[in-house]
Amino acid sequence: MPTSIVPMQNQRSTTVTWGRARCELGDCLVAEHAGDLCWLDIAPDSTAVAELAEHFSACDLRRDDARAQTLLDAALTALGNNAPLRLQVRGTEFQRQVWQALTEIGPGERLSYGQLAARIGRPGAARAVGSAAGANVIALFIPCHRLVPADGRAGAYRWGSALKQKLLAAEQQAA
């Protein structure tokens, strides 16, 4: 399995390094813990740093833009080469299960919330799957943009429906 979702341990007195970086989608806010990506915000707005600080409020936050760029570049290379990538997340067991399943949806593929719920053995949990997808803080690498409503529309996306449609169209074209 190329991407593994692991829970972030020992949040008290631990250091999370964050910074601003760029990719072909534009500006990003990136964070890592112990060398693993733990946050990726695409096109961060004026509240993004505060949201990151709140999410990691028990951690010592250190800014390092060069490290963030290096980490993002390495993670994008790993993703492009289908190489192993480890992501540290803060979430419930159910959220981690949903996020892991999201990493197994291939580029250009779309699943409905209900289909993903059935895939993880939780038929009828489509809304809970949607909530877990909405709580995802690692854009692209946990590809929640590949989840769509049952009617096939693009639907909502933490980073904006226009970006979701752009990502889906680009993946469809590449596939």
Active site residues: 144
| C-alpha to C-alpha distance for 23 and 26, rounded to whole angstroms | 5
155: closest CA among 112, 124, 114, 116?
112
Q: Encode burial over 124-140: b for 16+ CB neighbours within 10 A, e otherwise.
A: ebbeebbebbebbbbbb
CA distances from 135 to 1, 31, 78, 114, 125 (A): 22, 16, 24, 17, 15
Q: Judging by DSSP bridges, how do beta strands 26-33 and 36-42 pair with one another?
A: antiparallel
